[in-house]
Amino acid sequence: MLLGLTGGRLLPSPRRCLLHCRHIKSAATAASGVGDGVLSAFRSICGEDGVSLGEAVREQHGKDESVHRCRPPDVVVFPRCVEEVSALAKVCHKHRLPIIPFGTGTGLEGGVGAVKGGVCFSLRNMEQVLDLHPEDFDVTVEPGVTRKALNAYLRDTGLWFPVDPGADASLCGMAATSASGTNAVRYGTMRENVMNLEVVLADGSIVHTAGKGRRPRKTSAGYNLTNLFVGSEGTLGIITKTTLRLYGIPEAMVSAVCSFPSVQAAVDSTVQTLQAGVPIARIDPEFLDDVMIDACNRFSSLSYPVTPTLFLEFHGSEQSLEEQVKTAEDITQSNGGSDFQWARDTETRNRLWKARHDAWYAALALRPGCKAYSTDVCVPLSRLPQIIVETKEDLIENRLTGPIAGHVGDGNFHCLMVVDPNNPEEMHRVHLFTERLARRALAMDGTCTGEHGVGLGKRALLCEEMGPVGIQVMRSLKDTLDPNSLMNPGKILQREEP
Amino acid sequence: MLLGLTGGRLLPSPRRCLLHCRHIKSAATAASGVGDGVLSAFRSICGEDGVSLGEAVREQHGKDESVHRCRPPDVVVFPRCVEEVSALAKVCHKHRLPIIPFGTGTGLEGGVGAVKGGVCFSLRNMEQVLDLHPEDFDVTVEPGVTRKALNAYLRDTGLWFPVDPGADASLCGMAATSASGTNAVRYGTMRENVMNLEVVLADGSIVHTAGKGRRPRKTSAGYNLTNLFVGSEGTLGIITKTTLRLYGIPEAMVSAVCSFPSVQAAVDSTVQTLQAGVPIARIDPEFLDDVMIDACNRFSSLSYPVTPTLFLEFHGSEQSLEEQVKTAEDITQSNGGSDFQWARDTETRNRLWKARHDAWYAALALRPGCKAYSTDVCVPLSRLPQIIVETKEDLIENRLTGPIAGHVGDGNFHCLMVVDPNNPEEMHRVHLFTERLARRALAMDGTCTGEHGVGLGKRALLCEEMGPVGIQVMRSLKDTLDPNSLMNPGKILQREEP
């Protein structure tokens, strides 16, 4: 099933998202392997309060913000430190119990579902910001620390962590899913910004992917374990610390909006702006298509022309920004774009970008009572116009609502599919659509997932994307690091039942 | 042994570097496993000309530009395409013959030495630039294509590939060793710039690390195989294609030089410049210490003050550069730095940077008849002054000549050790010194190798750096992908004899 995403980051906290949970086991049972002996061992490690069998707790840990159905674990544990994570994992290993790491539950591909039952490791009690080194532009955080919490913590340092997937996700969770978002062209994704990880492996041993406490800005010391675990979605180990690169907060930011006669013109403008801009500035263009901008106009009482639209943000010094905006304006106009609307101060910038920020709500408002989820294919820049045009035709042909928003500087875009989850026929049409879209991206040298990960939803597509040898290599890595298939089983790789 | 480096990129071509080869086997023998049947199979794959048993050819493929002694392979093969590489590897796999990939032989840690004999795969005949996509800022190259050859090929496109380790290395070889160099602060290392690899595995199967022909600018599709093979130094497979990110050639470049009263002042200035500069520009500071600048003055008849010196290069637009240079000048002066000498046009820039470019020759000229090699530890920026000061004291105390040059924006620096290779007592002192230096870096949260790799020289230090669990994980990955230990045996990981 490719029906992965609700973009639920805008939904209420997962702790209250119990509406669509089904198939909930009544309690941990001996049959599940989580017997009294195991529970007693868990309690001796992280205390009475650190182990929960409650139905509500298990349910809230059985789903993320996607439309994948709730698959609650048999038990949820709440370790307070890496030593407890390790000790709990050793118990699971001894009893061959699945381990599912849980950060904030803001994933979009069903990554936390306990498809084989087992033990959910909720890491919310590990929420320390550790080892901030402002002069070295790095910080180490525990898995309970979210993106916004870190940036609040950093407020007085002049530094920030820019990777922004929208959700206020756990930074270790973002490492686990190789997240990115709106700032990737400027600052890179998690892959480029994680310097070291502490990981508890399936047998409970603890590894530091770049050596314990190490934080050089570059290294050639052996295999790159850090980037093996970034994006491994909990299937190779539990990330218990991540060391991140930080950046100086730019002296100034300018936001701008511009309308274009066609998708091609908007993308041409993007490519040329990046080409001119890469050496001088941090520019990150966001794209909304005509359907999306129309929805945003209705939702937020705006009056943008109903045509493909670029939202730009420039980061730099006061003086450099003027030059950059001018360069971008020239390029824009040469591609038939309208005059820039642009803004410097935070308030006006936020007003200008309101359409982009509200896109998800605006899409949902197109069909009240429906749910939404998001595709996330990514293709080389030059293929963007064609894939967007073909995808829009496909949407119309198949009577589907799917306004498009994209991190267009990366070639990554989302169809925000608005569907009635109680209409199986429509859900099926959407499923077929998303598969066609993914295959269209694959045929254009792209990927089925630019930033949401594989999880449950894209396992079959991953096989098409990688080919049999690539999948075999991935499987062999998984088998090596997790020979008993305990780590978040059923995710990324499809596997026959044991 | 840590005596890895001659920085031999400035020596004559490895094809003529036969002076220090010893222990050369007289010919491939049945005992080595390379019998007539194997040779005949090789010849049927890549022709008579594609297989060489000649002593000179084997010798020139048995060493890189380091001081590690020559270890010639039993035979050298010259495949012309990936299919031939695969077929040859299958023969090796069947007969359990070691496989050693060879690009340009410009490595610095003994990575091409055939420590267990076997078959050297010289990839020089695979020299096509494939699939240039200027509008997508990417290109795919075969392993015979060097950095300079690619940039010459790109000359008319307005694009370039900026990673620059000094040597005119093969780009696939640079991927294999996770190389970087002078532009890493601005543009990243190979880790950030390789998008996809084609790799022939130990059994001859061919894998595309991001799926065949794929080149999205970001992906979350399963395990990051690309960065597992980047830096694997030929021990997991033979890289036969690499897809690289390209960048727009900056509109303008400005070079600048500035003297400082102390190492601390130079590094403080670097940190502050990066902090101010990161959002607005691509700035990459290079550092020479007083000993190095004195050597450069003597060698090139220059008259720089004999104090710690920064060489800066700014990339950007004409207008933005003025602002950047002014910012950097202000920061420099507030740290007690001298007035900038700066230059815009290529000729004056080259003259200004002559000291930096000639550092290697200048170091060698300090002791005519001696050889040089380079350490490459990397530490967090804030630890640089201390480690450089301690290292200079260590050099003096142990009567060693080791001027320092560094990619200081990364915290990465080289002691260009000038030694008499025929003086075992001095060589031993140097060995002990380099071990102390590496351990000093490890104690400061750094790495023993920022950009040269582990090869033969740093295997013991890698164990200290990673700790036993990290090494065990690396070893398990190696065993999984190369169960018979055929791929470049003896490199990165120390292993008991089978």
Residue of A nearest to B381 (CA): A136
Extract the runs of DSSP E, i.e. beta strands, from A234-350.
238-245, 247-248, 252-259, 282-283, 286-288, 309-316, 341-343
Q: Which residues of B touch A279 (CB under 8 A)?
A: 247-248, 250-251, 282, 315-317
Question: Tell me, what DSSP letter sits at residue A421?
Answer: T
Chain A nearest C-alpha distance from B64 (Å): 17
CA A490 vs CA A29, A239, A244, A485, A487: distances in Å: 21, 18, 29, 9, 9
- The domain ranges of chain A are 8-122, 129-248, 250-454, 458-498
Chain B nearest C-alpha distance from A56 (Å): 31
The pair of structure tokens assigned to B4 is 């890895």
| Mean of the per-residue pLDDT values of chain A | 89
Q: Which residues of B touch A477 (CB under 8 A)?
A: 223, 228, 477, 480
Question: Tell me, what DSSP letter sits at residue A402?
Answer: -
- pLDDT band for position A178 (50/70/90)? very high
- pLDDT band for position A277 (50/70/90)? low
Phi-psi region of A28 (alpha: psi -120 to 50; beta: other; left: phi over 0): beta
Selected residue with higher pLDDT from A369 and A98: A98
Q: Which residue out of A196, A220, A480 would a mutagenesis test of the B interface target, given it has the greatest number of B Cβ atoms within 10 Å?
A: A220
The pair of structure tokens assigned to B247 is 């960048």
Selected residue with higher pLDDT from A441 and A14: A441
Out of 3.40.50.720, 3.40.462.10, 3.10.110.10, 3.30.420.10, the CATH code matching A250-454 is 3.40.462.10
Q: Using an 8 Å Cβ cutoff, are B268 and B303 in contact?
A: no
Select the residue of B201, B216, B410 nearest A217 (Cβ to Cβ). Answer: B410
Of B55, B96, B107, give the one whose Cα is nearest residue B76. B55
Residue of A nearest to B493 (CA): A222
A125 has a pLDDT exceeding 90: yes
The pair of structure tokens assigned to A201 is 């492996």
Residue of B nearest to A327 (CA): B317
Distance, CA of B12 to CA of A475 (rounded, Å): 45
Q: Which residues of A touch B196 (CB under 8 A)?
A: none
The ipTM value here is 0.92
Interchain proximity B470–A207, CB inside 8 Å? yes
Tell me the count of A-B CB pairs closer than 8 A: 313
Please report where in the chains the tokens 């307005």 appear, as a residue.
B158
CATH architecture of A129-248: 2-Layer Sandwich (3.30)
Select the residue of B191, B219, B445 nearest A449 (Cβ to Cβ). Answer: B219
Interchain proximity B448–A221, CB inside 8 Å? yes
pLDDT tens profile A199-213? 999 999 999 999 999
Helix, strand or coil for residue A318? Answer: helix
- What residues contact residue A11 under an 8 Å CB cut-off, 6+ apart? A17, A65
pLDDT tens profile A336-380? 999 888 888 889 888 888 888 888 889 989 999 888 889 999 999
Out of 3.90.550, 1.10.10, 1.10.45, 1.10.1660, the CATH code matching A458-498 is 1.10.45
Percent helix, strand, coil in chain A (nearest 5)? 40, 20, 40
Which amino acid type is present at position B54? G
Q: Which residue out of A219, A384, A479 would a mutagenesis test of the B interface target, given it has the greatest number of B Cβ atoms within 10 Å?
A: A219
- Return phi, psi of residue A217, to 5°: -75, -15
- What residues contact residue B35 under an 8 Å CB cut-off, 6+ apart? none
Q: Using an 8 Å Cβ cutoff, are B403 and B292 in contact?
A: yes
Interchain proximity B323–A315, CB inside 8 Å? no
Select the residue of B214, B223, B453 nearest A231 (Cβ to Cβ). Answer: B223
Percent of chain A with pLDDT over 70: 91
Q: Which residue out of B163, B220, B264 would a mutagenesis test of the A interface target, given it has the greatest number of A Cβ atoms within 10 Å?
A: B220
Which pairing describes strands B159-160 and B194-200: parallel, antiparallel, or unpaired?
Answer: unpaired
CA A175 vs CA A227, A233, A235, A248, B387: distances in Å: 9, 8, 13, 21, 31
- Give counts: helices (H), strands (E), chain B: 17, 19
| Size of chain A in residues | 498
Q: What is the mean pLDDT of residues A34-61?
A: 97
Q: What is the mean pLDDT of residues A296-315?
A: 92
Q: Which residue out of A218, A228, A243, A375 would a mutagenesis test of the B interface target, given it has the greatest number of B Cβ atoms within 10 Å?
A: A218
Distance, CA of A490 to CA of B393 (rounded, Å): 56
Q: What is the pLDDT along chain B (498 residues), one digit of tens a residue?
A: 333 333 333 333 333 333 333 333 434 444 567 899 999 999 999 999 999 999 999 999 999 988 888 999 999 999 999 999 999 999 999 999 999 999 999 998 999 999 999 999 999 999 999 999 999 999 999 999 999 999 999 999 999 999 999 889 999 999 999 999 888 888 999 999 999 999 999 999 999 999 999 999 999 999 999 999 999 999 999 999 999 999 988 888 889 999 999 999 998 898 788 777 544 456 778 899 999 999 999 999 999 999 999 998 888 777 778 878 888 889 999 999 998 888 888 898 888 888 888 888 899 899 998 888 899 999 999 999 999 999 999 999 999 999 999 998 899 999 999 988 889 999 899 999 999 999 999 999 999 999 999 999 999 999 999 999 999 999 999 999 999 999 999 999 987 544
Selected residue with higher pLDDT from B97 and A494: B97
Task: Give the fold, CATH level 3, of A8-122.
Answer: 3.30.43
